[in-house]
Structure 1
């Protein structure tokens, strides 16, 4: 995509960027970036930033054989991005060997950099820390664009997403259709999507309205992120709409949901209105957002 054409104008440096741990000041545009968060790596690739290496997560159905997320793995390999360390197993020595002039990391999730931040900063490595769980990918892309001098790349990625979303929304028909986002048996957990979340932002761009957990069940929530986590026994009562979109799911997950006896009386099940959001929707970046659009456009117009 055209983001690779973006280049930092050295006349704009030094510059400051606000992030989760304060303000980062860089004297010059970084030329050797490493990412300790696979959830942010896709955005660095999307804006055309000079990414040298990325941490890899545990190999599974969401990744390729190297532990890179499938939605951007091919692009990363084509650009020569190396594995910084596997299985999100933080490795300070590997970080120092990579010799970055900017470290990008997360303040949340299994790849959180916060436990190691003091050690990294003691080595004099400029570090940008972001929370991907509560911030839209577009906002994250703009922050990363600002920090790396690739604002034009961020603008290009956002414009392409907007174009594809508008195209799909036109096919889906009148806006306002209410849906429930459901996390079904994801590593043994069950959850309801919040109306303000990265996933809900993508659905909203398609003209869909996300209905959150009913307030009457707020006391049943066991954990909160971009989803409200509840017990399996509470799930049926927690699904408010006749259309269900399954987070991080494919057709096999839809089949399992439809076959669950605890959910048999749900209107969405009885009407056959349960759809996958796509495996890569678990973490939203530019590439997974485009995959979400394609998956939902196909499912909802079938």
Structure 2
């Protein structure tokens, strides 16, 4: 059914959008305080073109579906994907509301926000709009001036992008082949928070170098996975995933995923994971160590008792490393937590 916003909602939204955009000309980027190639950040603006676009509106942003033009710096951003909301928060973008996941799980709070940044979202009064599937009418009701959509993943609102474009400019971000830093650069360009994005990236880069120098790597190469709770299979993280990119930055070598185990992927055409199960499960785990994302010690014990995996070298040699429940989707906050855990685990190997 085609979405048609309530006339009153649309009138209020338009009035608020006009007021907001007219106030943006004198907007300055807030100080960076993260704790209080279809869509590469390609910009044409009224200022000089280049890698950094700290001034100049209107500007045209490359999106995963088509370019969008923003008349002024956004002030009321809605993230339809809980997967990228943390990046928006880390660069101090004015996100007012977000889609949410199932509440009160091992990785989410009562609002359905990821625990690594839920406290910050609450401090900034970010409103949870819905749980699960995106709802265009609910999004329209908060009168956004920029809507962020992810191209893939379980929380992608790609199918309602035509409706969302009737509400506000809509940026489609493809994150399945990007690190959170690359996503931050894209969102920084779209929101006028380039300086904050660069600051967050540099701060994290410094932490990466410090951790890299302080750890001793486990047996290489490694396979990075998210283990299914029922033991039937796993998502294997590829070198194009944020997880794989970060491990590589730290000096880890990712084991090759055999072509014979690769099949159809769900949740769109994804480059960051290979989904394996059944008889292909064990064959996909070619590493001498297993890096377990979105996992705690319970996952380690489950793998040890899985009869289809107990013959593998990393299981027999106890080279299983749980990297935390908040690492399924990496953003500034969860990636920083991951570095802390890696340093704690692998500095003990020295």
TM-score (normalised: structure 1)? 0.91
Partner of residue 91 from structure 1, selected from 110, 123, 135: 135
Is 1:3 paired with 2:32? yes
Residue in structure 2 matched with residue 254 of structure 1 by the alignment: 300
Supply the RMSD in Å over aligned alpha carbons. Answer: 2.3
CA drift at 1:89: 3.0
Alignment of 1:154-165 (within 5 A): 154-165=197-208
Residue in structure 2 matched with residue 102 of structure 1 by the alignment: 146
Is 1:113 paired with 2:157? yes
Is 1:235 paired with 2:281? yes
Partner of residue 276 from structure 1, selected from 297, 301, 322: 322
- Give the Cα–Cα distance (whole angstroms) in 2 for the partners of residues 11 and 190 of structure 1: 45
- Give the Cα–Cα distance (whole angstroms) in 1 for the partners of residues 109 and 277 of structure 2: 31
- Give the Cα–Cα distance (whole angstroms) in 1 for the partners of residues 196 and 218 of structure 2: 29
CA pair 297-65 structure 1, distance change in 2 beyond 3 A: same
CA pair 165-176 structure 1, distance change in 2 beyond 3 A: farther
CA drift at 1:174: 6.8
With 65-74 and 191-200 compared, the bigger mean Cα shift is at 191-200
> 1:246, 1:275 within 8 Å by CA — same for their partners in 2?
yes
CA drift at 1:49: 0.4
Identify, as 1 or 2, the structure richer in helix: 1
Q: Secondary structure at the match of 1:84?
A: strand
- Give the Cα–Cα distance (whole angstroms) in 1 for the partners of residues 31 and 200 of structure 2: 8
Residue in structure 2 matched with residue 62 of structure 1 by the alignment: 107
CA drift at 1:262: 1.7
Residue in structure 1 matched with residue 171 of structure 2 by the alignment: 128
CA drift at 1:79: 1.1
- Give the Cα–Cα distance (whole angstroms) in 2 for the partners of residues 26 and 89 of structure 1: 26
CA pair 4-27 structure 1, distance change in 2 beyond 3 A: farther
Residue in structure 1 matched with residue 263 of structure 2 by the alignment: 221
Alignment of 1:17-56 (within 5 A): 17-56=61-100
Residue in structure 2 matched with residue 181 of structure 1 by the alignment: 224
- Give the Cα–Cα distance (whole angstroms) in 1 for the partners of residues 312 and 327 of structure 2: 24
CA pair 197-89 structure 1, distance change in 2 beyond 3 A: closer
- Give the Cα–Cα distance (whole angstroms) in 2 for the partners of residues 134 and 182 of structure 1: 16
With 142-151 and 190-199 compared, the bigger mean Cα shift is at 190-199
Partner of residue 238 from structure 2, selected from 194, 197, 209: 194
> 1:56, 1:84 within 8 Å by CA — same for their partners in 2?
yes
Deviations 1:249-286 (A, max 9, x none): 11111111122122112111111110012212211111
> 2:176, 2:240 within 8 Å by CA — same for their partners in 1?
no
- Give the Cα–Cα distance (whole angstroms) in 2 for the partners of residues 301 and 11 of structure 1: 43
Q: Secondary structure at the match of 1:39?
A: helix
> 2:54, 2:193 within 8 Å by CA — same for their partners in 1?
no
> 1:192, 1:212 within 8 Å by CA — same for their partners in 2?
no
Q: Secondary structure at the match of 1:117?
A: helix
- Give the Cα–Cα distance (whole angstroms) in 2 for the partners of residues 190 and 166 of structure 1: 30
Partner of residue 166 from structure 1, selected from 209, 213, 234: 209
> Runs of 5+ in structure 1 lacking a partner?
none
Alignment of 1:282-293 (within 5 A): 282-293=328-339
Q: Secondary structure at the match of 1:143?
A: helix
